[in-house]
Chains A and B, each alone.
Chain A
Amino acid sequence: MSCCAPGIEGAADIDAMTAPSREEMRLASRSVAPGVQQVDLAVPDVHCAACIQTIEQALSRLPGVISARVNLSTKRVGLRWTADQQPPAVFETLDRLGYRAHLFDFSGDQADTTLSELIRAVAVAGFAASNIMLLSVSVWSGADAATRDLFHWLSALIAIPALVFAGRIYFRSAWSALRHGRMNMDVPIAIGVSLAYAMSLYETITHGQHAYFDAAVSLLFFLLIGRTLDHVMRERARVAVNGLRRLAARGATLLRADGSRDFVPVEEIETGDTILLAPGDRVPVDAVVRDGRSEVDCSLVSGESDPQAAGPGMRIVAGTMNLTGSLTVVAVAAARDSFLAEMVRLMEAAEGGRARYRRIADRASALYSPVVHLTALLTFLGWMAVSGDWHRSLTIAIAVLIITCPCALGLAVPIVQVVAARRLFERGIMVRDGSAMERLAEVDTVVFDKTGTLTLGSPRLANVDAIDGDHLAIAGALAAHSRHPAARAIGEAAGARRAVAAFAEVREIPGCGLEAQADGHRWRLGRAEWACDSGDDTADAAGPVLSRDGVLLAVFACEDRLRPDAASTVSALAADGLPVEMLSGDREAVARGVAIELGIDKVEAGVLPAGKQKRIAQLAQEGHRVLMVGDGLNDTPALAAAHVSMAPATAADVGRNAADFVFLRSSLSAIPFAVDVSRRAGRLIRQNLAFAIAYNAVAVPIAILGHVTPLVAAIAMSTSSIVVIVNALRLTAGGAAVPAVPLRRVAAPGLRGAVA
């Protein structure tokens, strides 16, 4: 199925790791009906009708499958099968069709119910607002007293479901804020709406002239739109991030004392259990190797780019990946005491700028609500003193509350953030919430991790041109049998070249390389001193070599490649007045080399996870607001400690969850772009807030003087909302045209790089 060119989306360039086993699939599934299991798979490459059809037909032909349904919007496949059967061979089938798939982490579905509650509330409020507005228009255009009363009664009736259904979202939130002694934007909204309704009802009963039903309901309607958009933005980011491949092990194969094998969830592994690790498995808990030789990939854990050799007696930590040979290991810690859990604890203890930061909207409402309520109270007292007519005084005081109700204020912040999040989303950047954008706009220092962040974390073949095409093809065919990063790099470089020789019995010798027989020759790909007969003068070659019967044929130079635009990103950030630092867990020499290439002056190498966090805390103490960009488990505490954090989609699960921003494409130009968008969003938010204040400065005196009728209130409120929304939309319209300073420069090539 090549019509859709899988990979263009670039959801994450983590390539073929082992497909989850059937046991893992069973662990991830849930029972939806008696005898029916369902599992959700993320399939990022689904693109079109043909994809849907191919996948659904192929999957529903598998034995035991009841139904397979593709959701193109979320790029997921829901698969149901009969529970008493083995889970179907879904991954193999999808792989054959050319789709990468991974198990969907099915953790939080309660957010979906919030969204549908919000949409239902918007629908009800919209229905009520439009009907009441129609009735109100005829009242304003001069209906006679009897008709006016009838219309008021009708409006009161229509408003009830809106208040109950749509209003309860605000009442609930305001109540919980008040109960905890806090103020939020929902408190003045709840008070304003309920007072307006109560007074209008009184007016209606006493055949009064002015009722504010339309104001109360349309206020709810506008505010709910803002709130729903805000929720949609977060939800979309959440789904996209969750859909990425889960990197932590979900379960492991235990070897029991009686020789039987069991696949158990990670949480059930106890100290002393014997675990079998096949090549490609993630190490589930901290363990000591008992049998076998292999190499483990520690890049996500320690930041070291070269695989480490593992043999009997060696300790390996949870989260590393077994690469070349099978290992039998003994658990030395349960999952809750393993390296991974320790990182999570460090991360939770870190809680840096994020916890201290208060959102602009919250800060504004903390000031706003008391002022508004005091003004309304003073108005009431003032009119009582002047006229002594309590009904009139109360009417005017409530009019003040309604006109100041933070309609524009409630929309001013979320609408800008929604538009900004959309811009970022188009460039493959996910934002966790609006506060992340506010914090990003304040950043004054950027700290990078090296492996996997500035570099791609997987080596590439550097000397393709120097190698004979046939040799490359043979090496590629051999390399296909290994998971070693260098073998992967060779396989990738060889691409679709056809090997001339047909190999028999390919063997992988951990720590050495690959060996195979073909046409009576012995081919070896791996370490030079092993592959070549001694005495050969090139035995000191650094990279892997290809040999035939001990004779050297080709030397491969593999190096970790920098991410596209890494250098231009660093210089763009520096030019923008953001000093850049690098913290790496890798060796000094490697880290130093990358730093020099990128022009980063401040480097710390060989840093432990706690050390990274300490450095961030130190920067924060010096008064800096730090943006941390990192991907590994070892970066997670630092990500949490920083004022704001970003992670690539290839990051470890914990890191991805700790980060405020996740960028899905490989280009680092996402960082200056996100900074730029966040800053412009911050400017627009301040403009919107300034406008809301100016609006109040004009409208409040009019209201205090008692000149506000329901008609004036309706016009003022709608106009202010529309102005705020239009201002927010400037973020999309102005974006491409404004030649903003150095940041823009990297934006264009970044886009090309991402598509290419």
Chain B
Amino acid sequence: MTMLTFLIPVALFLGGLGLVAFLWALRSGQYEDLDGSAERILIDDADVPPGRADQAGR
């Protein structure tokens, strides 16, 4: 019975953490373009600072 007092809060907290993470991802638009995100990892110069994107060329 005593371990329940910390195991249950821990379980709920972890579950809640997952829920919050999901809601955050949803809110920040990470589900807006799933196909695009999958393709964008193939773009090479994604790590060029935005200001120099012009010189990056192809």
Query: A130 to chain B: which residues have CB within 8 Å?
Result: 15
- For B11, list chain A residues within 8 Å (CB): 131, 134
Contact: A120 with B39, CB < 8 Å? no
Determine if A53 and B58 form an interchain contact, defined as CB atoms under 8 angstroms apart.
yes
Which B residue sits closest to A131, measured CB to CB?
Answer: B15
B8 adjacent to A154 (CB under 8 Å) = yes
Residues 268-291 (chain A) with a chain B CB within 8 angstroms: none
Quick check: is A150 within 8 A (CB to CB) of the other chain?
Answer: yes
Q: Is the CB of A127 within 8 A of B15?
A: yes
Specify which chain A residues have a CB less than 8 angstroms from the CB of B18 in the assembled complex: 127
Query: Cβ of B12 and Cβ of A158 under 8 Å apart?
Result: yes
Q: Which residues of A have CB within 8 Å of B40?
A: 49, 52
11 example contacts (A-B, Cβ-Cβ < 8 A) are as follows A52-B39, A52-B40, A57-B56, A72-B36, A73-B32, A73-B34, A124-B19, A127-B16, A127-B19, A134-B11, A147-B4
Q: Does chain A have a CB within 8 A of B10?
A: no
C-alpha spacing A708/B19, complex, angstroms? 32
- Among A72, A119, A127, A150, point to the contact of B39 (Cβ < 8 A): A72
- Residues in B neighbouring A73, C-beta threshold 8 A: 32-36
Query: Measured between alpha carbons, how far is A53 from B41 in the docked complex, in Å?
Result: 11
Rounded to whole angstroms, the CA-CA distance of A72 and B53 in the bound complex is 21
Asked if A71 CB lies within 8 Å of chain B CBs, one says: yes
* Closest Cβ–Cβ distance, residue B17 to chain A (whole Å): 10
Does B32 contact A57, Cβ atoms closer than 8 Å?
A: no
Q: Check: A502 CB closer than 8 A to any chain B CB.
A: no
Which chain B residues border A52 with CB–CB below 8 Å? 36, 39-40, 43
Given contacts A57-B58, A127-B19, A130-B15, whether A49 and B39 have CB atoms under 8 Å apart is yes
Question: With the chains together, A74 CA to B34 CA distance in Å?
Answer: 10
* A146 adjacent to chain B (CB < 8 Å): yes
Question: Nearest-CB distance from A341 to chain B (Å)?
Answer: 36
Separation of A216 and B53 alpha carbons in the complex (Å)? 54
**B33 with A74: CB separation less than 8 A:** yes
Interface of B (DSSP majority class): helix
Apart from the given pairs A73-B34, A116-B26, 6 other A-B contacts in the complex at a CB distance below 8 Å: A53-B58, A72-B35, A124-B19, A127-B16, A127-B19, A131-B11
In the assembled complex, the Cα of A124 lies from the Cα of B33 at a distance in Å of 23
For B31, the chain A residues whose CB sits under 8 A away are 119
Q: Which residues of A contact B58 (CB under 8 A)?
A: 53, 57
Quick one: which of A29-64 are within 8 Å of B by CB?
Answer: 48-49, 52-53, 57, 60-61
Which residues of the partner chain A approach B16 to less than 8 Å between Cβ atoms? Answer: 127
| A57-B53 CB under 8 A given contacts A52-B43, A146-B1 | yes
A contact residues around B36 at 8 Å (CB)? 52, 70-73
Residue of B nearest to A120 (CB): B23
- Give Cα A60 to B55, complex, Å: 12
A53 in contact with B43 given A72-B35, A127-B19, A130-B15 (CB within 8 Å): yes
Expressed in whole angstroms, the Cα–Cα distance for A134 and B4 within the complex equals 13
Check: B54 CB closer than 8 A to any chain A CB: yes
Question: Chain B interface (Cβ within 8 Å of chain A)?
Answer: 1, 4, 8, 11-12, 15-16, 18-19, 22-23, 26, 31-36, 39-43, 53-54, 56, 58
Docked pose: A57 CA to B56 CA in angstroms: 9
Indicate whether A12 reaches chain B with its CB closer than 8 angstroms: no
Complex CA–CA separation, A154 to B8 (angstroms): 9
Q: Residue on A with the closest CB to B36?
A: A72
- Min C-beta distance of A129 to chain B, whole Å: 11
Q: Does A123 contact B (CB under 8 A)?
A: yes
Contacts of A150 in B (CB 8 A): 4
The digit string for A349-378, where 1 denotes a CB below 8 A from any CB of B, is 000000000000000000000000000000
Taking a contact as CB atoms closer than 8 A, the residue among B12, B26, B33 that contacts A119 in the complex is B26
Residue among A49, A119, A130, A154 with most chain B CB within 10 A: A49
Contacts of A158 in B (CB 8 A): 12
Query: How distant is the Cα of A74 from the Cα of B26 in the complex, in angstroms?
Result: 17
A48 to B26, CA, bound (A): 24
Q: Which residues of B contact A116 (CB under 8 A)?
A: 26
The distance from the CB of B12 to the nearest CB of chain A, in whole angstroms, is 7
User: A169 CA to B4 CA in the complex, in Å?
Assistant: 34
Q: Which of B8, B22, B32, B53 contacts A71 (CB 8 A)?
A: B32
Closest to B5 in A: A150
Contact assessment for B39 and A48 in the assembled complex, using a CB-CB cutoff below 8 Å: yes
B39 to chain A, nearest CB (A): 4
Mask for A138-175, Cβ within 8 A of B = 1, else 0? 00000000110010001000100000000000000000
Closest B residue, CB atoms, query A158: B12
Using CB atoms, name the residue of chain A closest to B37. Answer: A72
Closest to B57 in A: A57
Instruction: Determine the chain B residues whose CB is within 8 A of the CB of A71 once the complex forms.
Output: 32-33, 36
Q: Can you list, as one digit per residue, whether each of A640-652 has a CB less than 8 Å from chain B (1) or not (0)?
A: 0000000000000
Complex CA gap A299/B39 in Å reads 41
Q: How far is the CA of A74 from the CA of B8 in the complex (A)?
A: 42
Which chain A residue lies CB-closest to B16? A127
How distant is the Cα of A127 from the Cα of B26 in the complex, in angstroms?
16
- Contacts A49-B43, A124-B19, A127-B15 known; A61 to B33 CB distance under 8 Å? no
Q: Which residues on the A side are within 8 Å of B8 (C-beta)?
A: 154
Determine the chain B residues whose CB is within 8 A of the CB of A120 once the complex forms: 23, 26
Would you list the 5 A-B pairs with minimal beta carbon distance, nearest first? A72-B36, A49-B39, A49-B42, A72-B35, A71-B33
- Residues 43 to 98 of chain A near chain B (Cβ within 8 Å): 48-49, 52-53, 57, 60-61, 70-74
Closest chain B CB from A251 CB (angstroms)? 30
Complex CA–CA separation, A501 to B58 (angstroms): 37
A97-136 interface bits toward B, Cβ cutoff 8 Å, 1 = contact, 0 = none: 0000000000000000000100110011001001100100
Chain A positions within 8 Å of B22 at CB level: 123
